[in-house]
């Protein structure tokens, strides 16, 4: 077990847990706050986000970057929109959109009324918590195969148990949650995409099914967004039970 811990320890990445508060009335100028639902941030010349087929998409959330969040420093604001009718499951599907601002022109902010056909969404303010992240059992082979091999040596029938004990010792209990950065916690199996150089892409964020915001991805699932900063490449996948 000590050897397993030594193999896993260097893999630890910081992450930011995103905690949704209970629904509330949006405060004035809420477009300048990190939140789910409500009014998104827009600047002059922009329009409400549409899918490729012309449907107005639902605004899911936005997060303004601060120094204590696990987002790339070049990102000042990240937003996510989704078309529930399309119900996209992966990158090639229509109906999902990640909007990244690398600079903010706060003097150019405008309000765009939500299109009438877009359902009302619950406004939820968010809180952030710094956590440690390790690959789940589905993903450990991708980052340290020796840890997987040793787990089988320790317990051939249930190798994941000792690995999970090690993860909990080093990072605390890891369950499904909305988070920025870190490693994905897969529902159905390892699906980390590769960048153009064949390297594992890093998780930008994963969003859990959130009761407070009335968000359900498939059957109690999660969405995962991966981001390659230099190539400005974004990959999307949804997994559920």
Specify the higher pLDDT residue, 120 or 171.
171
Query: What digits encode the pLDDT tens for the residues 154-170?
Result: 999 999 999 999 999 99
Q: What is the structure's pLDDT at 187?
A: 95
Report, as an integer, the average pLDDT of 21-43.
96
Nearest C-alpha neighbor of 147 from the set 162, 157, 133, 158:
162
Report, as an integer, the average pLDDT of 25-31.
94
Question: How would residue 152 be classed by pLDDT, with cut points 50, 70 and 90?
Answer: very high
> Torsions phi, psi of 25, nearest 5?
-75, 135
Question: How would residue 175 be classed by pLDDT, with cut points 50, 70 and 90?
Answer: confident
**Residue 120 clears pLDDT 90, i.e. is over it:** no
Please count the CA atoms within 13 angstroms of the CA of 186 that sit on its side-chain side: 13
Give the containing element (helix H, strand E) for 198: none
User: In terms of residues, how long is the chain?
Assistant: 241
Please give the Cα distance from 54 to 83 (Å, whole number).
Answer: 10
Report, as an integer, the average pLDDT of 46-69.
96
Q: What is the structure's pLDDT at 226?
A: 98
**Residue 153 clears pLDDT 90, i.e. is over it:** yes
The 3-state DSSP class for residue 35 equals strand
Letter string b/e over residues 158-179, b meaning 16 or more CB atoms within 10 A of that residue's CB: ebbebbbebbeeebeebebbbb
Nearest C-alpha neighbor of 139 from the set 173, 102, 188, 95:
188
Question: How would residue 186 be classed by pLDDT, with cut points 50, 70 and 90?
Answer: very high
Question: How would residue 82 be classed by pLDDT, with cut points 50, 70 and 90?
Answer: very high
Q: Do residues 31 and 111 make contact, with C-beta atoms less than 8 angstroms apart?
A: yes
Q: What is the structure's pLDDT at 174?
A: 79
**Residue 173 clears pLDDT 90, i.e. is over it:** no
Q: What is the structure's pLDDT at 241?
A: 87
Question: How would residue 171 be classed by pLDDT, with cut points 50, 70 and 90?
Answer: very high
Query: What digits encode the pLDDT tens for the residues 214-241?
Result: 999 999 999 999 999 988 999 999 999 8
Nearest C-alpha neighbor of 75 from the set 63, 65, 61:
65
């Amino acid at each position: 077990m000590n050897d397993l811990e030594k193999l896993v320890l260097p893999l630890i990445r910081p992450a930011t847990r995103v905690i949704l508060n209970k629904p509330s009335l949006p405060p004035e100028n809420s477009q300048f706050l990190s939140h789910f639902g409500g009014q998104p941030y827009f600047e002059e010349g922009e329009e409400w986000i549409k899918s490729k087929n012309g449907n107005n998409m639902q605004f899911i959330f936005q997060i303004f970057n601060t120094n204590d969040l696990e987002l790339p420093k070049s990102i000042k604001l990240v937003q996510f929109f989704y078309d529930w009718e399309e119900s996209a499951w992966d990158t090639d599907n229509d109906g999902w959109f990640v909007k990244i601002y690398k600079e903010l022109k706060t003097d150019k902010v405008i309000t765009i009324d939500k299109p009438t056909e877009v359902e009302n969404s619950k406004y939820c303010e968010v809180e952030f918590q710094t956590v440690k992240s390790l690959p789940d059992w589905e993903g450990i082979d991708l980052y340290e195969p020796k840890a997987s091999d040793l787990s089988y040596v320790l317990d051939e029938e249930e190798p994941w148990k000792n690995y999970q004990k090690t993860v909990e010792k080093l990072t605390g209990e890891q369950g499904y949650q909305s988070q920025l950065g870190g490693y994905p916690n897969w529902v159905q199996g390892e699906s980390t995409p590769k960048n153009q150089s064949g390297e594992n892409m890093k998780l930008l964020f994963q969003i859990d099914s959130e009761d407070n915001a009335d968000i359900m991805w498939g059957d109690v699932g999660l969405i995962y967004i991966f981001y390659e900063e230099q190539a400005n490449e974004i990959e999307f996948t949804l997994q559920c039970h």
